[in-house]
Amino acid sequence: MPRPATGAKRAKSFSSQGSLNAAIKSICDIMRRSNCAGALQYVPELTWILFLRILDEQEEHEAEKAAAVRGEFRPALNAPYRWRDWAKPDGAKRQELESAAIGAFFSFINGELIPHLKKLKTQPNATPRQKVISEIMSGVDRTRIDTERNFKDVLDKVGEISAFNVDPTHVFTLSQVYEGLLLKMGEKGNDGGQFFTPREIIRTIVEVIDPEPGKTVYDPCCGTGGFLAQAYEHIAAKLQKRETTGVDYDVLRHRTFYGREKENLVYPITLANLMLHGIDEPHIWHGNTLTGEALYDGLFEQAPQAFDYILTNPPFGGKEGAEAQQRFDYKTNATQILFLQLIVSSLAKGGKCGVVIDEGSLFRVDQEAFVKTKKRLLETCRLWAVVSLPANVFAGAGAAVKTSILFFEKGRPTEKIWYFDLADMKVGKKQPYTRERMRELGFYDLIKTLGDSERSWTVDFIAKRKAADAEAEKLLATAEPAKARALALKADLSAEKKKTKPDEARVTELAEKLKAAEREVREIENKAQATRDAVYDLKAVNPNAKSNEDTRTPAELLDFIEAKGREVAAALAALRGNMR
């Protein structure tokens, strides 16, 4: 990691993760007493403050590098809007404001600084970085902090934090601490769980998909950017082990990561999170992914139509209106099914996907959209693995929905599906889901070979579908007599009606018999279709699971109860005897 500019004042040194965590906590404590009671209030506020601090430090370093080679450097911010001007205690603008009347500091922050930053994207020839700055500030109209004194205390403590003053053994320390703040947003009771996927789930998916440098990575509902940030760390670690050029890192930081986010609160946090991780150009589209209605698409202008990797956790349980549904082939109000259609269509040929999906979407075959979406997935992609997650893996974020991870590759149909079952894994605060626990269960070894074990098995999807088709054909064959009967009845009914004086009783009788025959045909055809649709029930049902079912007969249970009753009676008699 590069060192700070030589002229910069050396910030406080943090020699351990704990010391940096404590520094961030002390900032949050000030904010909590300053009109930012919960994480959903203080995290967005700290986001833009911390971002401007790190941005200024980064631009100082870039300017120094450019000067060393007599190159040009165009800063995103100029005086007096740089952190060093208005936030540092010895900054010229800050000293000017502190010498002015009471209220001058907030007047500058709310009346000049924030409006200037928000309008950067509209200026002629705005750079990608200036557009990102404006979007990070898009939800900020004024500081939430209640007094100038508290605000300056926050600035001074944030000023002690630097991307360069941490122990070099800590990789991405600052971004990890920031993710700790995002975790606070995702905790139950903070109402931010919808934006947050547990990081160990993200790391599992990224490790299995194993994205390569030079490829595009996309998350159509990226929340706080966890999948994209983790993919960046994964790819960056690969580059560190290889012979690389500046071009490789340039592609990684500028032309690799793409995403979409709907929520106004989360969108700026996403951008800040990705930039703190080292992604200089996060191509995040702000708007409703399903309707296609954009709030701001200026960072997404050069995005490809299809992506090499899709890593995502779509929202489940949502209900979409007609506006969203009309853009999809298979219409349903189920948000997660619309997203699954979008994911399949957005994946490039040969592209790989890891997606979290609710179990209901896997087993439901009672709606045409569910069946046809999964049918398209299996016909256009090789669904090679389904990992059934523990029931409470999302409970910390306030969601108790049972989920699974799907891994698939686009370009050839599914033949066999490998399953891994974690349904019985106990997950809680004292026993969280971790990759280490997965490793102990053999997951990482088994997924390399798609091997069988007590927790894993393979389903031959082609054979399963052929068997279902054969069963459906047998059922349809049983409908032939009813079809023939219906044709004969229809002919008889038509002939009777054409008579000069039709026998009304006869017409009624034939019509009733025709309805019954047609109903019989429909019921058989529906049963045959249900048989075919049943193959798209993709839920993990472990054939090796040990059953806890009580197999005793009613008579045996009654004998057991009677025996226990005698034991209780004997114990009571003994107690009474001891009391005499």
By three-state DSSP, how is residue 353 classified? strand
Helices marked H in 499-553 — which ranges? 504-533
Residue 547 has what DSSP assignment? P
Strand partners, 355: 312, 406
Q: What angle do CA 27, 32, 37 make, to 5 degrees?
A: 145
Q: Starting at the earlier edge strand, list the strands of the sheet with 347-358.
A: 293-296, 283-288, 257-261, 217-219, 307-312, 347-358, 403-410, 381-388, 416-421, 456-460
Which pLDDT value is given to residue 103? Answer: 94
Give pTM, 2 decimals.
0.84
Say whether the peptide bond before residue 543 is cis (omega within 30 degrees of 0): no
Question: How confident is the model over 115-173, as pLDDT tens digits?
Answer: 999 999 999 999 999 999 999 999 899 999 999 999 999 999 999 887 665 544 433 34
Asked if 384 contacts 450 with a C-beta cutoff of 8 angstroms, the reply is yes
Which pLDDT value is given to residue 187? Answer: 55
Report how far apart the first and last C-alpha atoms of the chain are (Å, whole number).
85
pLDDT in tens, the chain (580 residues): 444 444 444 456 655 556 777 788 888 889 888 888 777 788 888 889 988 998 998 899 889 988 998 888 999 999 999 999 999 999 999 999 999 999 999 999 999 999 999 999 999 999 999 999 999 999 899 999 999 999 999 999 999 887 665 544 433 345 556 656 666 655 544 444 444 688 889 999 999 999 999 999 999 999 889 899 999 999 999 999 988 888 999 999 999 999 999 988 889 988 988 988 889 899 999 999 999 999 999 999 989 999 999 999 998 877 888 888 999 999 999 999 999 999 999 999 999 999 999 999 999 999 999 999 999 999 999 999 999 999 888 765 555 688 999 999 999 999 999 999 998 888 887 888 889 999 999 999 999 999 999 999 999 999 999 999 999 999 999 999 999 999 999 999 999 999 989 999 999 999 999 999 999 999 999 999 999 999 999 999 999 887 666 777 888 888 888 888 888 888 888 888 877 6
Closest by CA position to 221, among listed 291, 172, 277 = 291
Strand partners, 388: 404, 421
CA gap 197, 543 in Å, rounded = 29
* Burial zone of 320 (CB within 10 Å; 0-12 exposed, 13-18 middle, 19+ buried): buried
Which pLDDT value is given to residue 169? Answer: 41
By three-state DSSP, how is residue 259 classified? strand
Asked if 105 contacts 87 with a C-beta cutoff of 8 angstroms, the reply is no
CA gap 355, 386 in Å, rounded = 10
**Percentage of the chain with pLDDT > 90?**
65
DSSP H or E run through 94: helix 92-99
By three-state DSSP, how is residue 416 classified? strand
Helices marked H in 210-307 — which ranges? 226-240, 246-254, 266-277
Question: How confident is the model over 200-210, as pLDDT tens digits?
Answer: 899 999 999 99
Q: Parallel, antiparallel, or unpaired for β 217-219 and 257-261?
A: parallel
Q: At residue 329, what is the residue type?
A: D
Closest by CA position to 366, among listed 328, 332, 402 = 332
Helices marked H in 15-38 — which ranges? 17-32
Give me the phi and psi of 260, to 5 degrees please: -135, 140
DSSP H or E run through 580: none
Which pLDDT value is given to residue 546? Answer: 75
* Burial zone of 102 (CB within 10 Å; 0-12 exposed, 13-18 middle, 19+ buried): exposed
Q: Crossing angle for the helix pair 461-478 and 480-498, nearest 10 degrees?
A: 40
Q: What angle do CA 428, 431, 437 make, to 5 degrees?
A: 125
Place of tokens 């107690």: 575
Give me the phi and psi of 382, to 5 degrees please: -90, 100
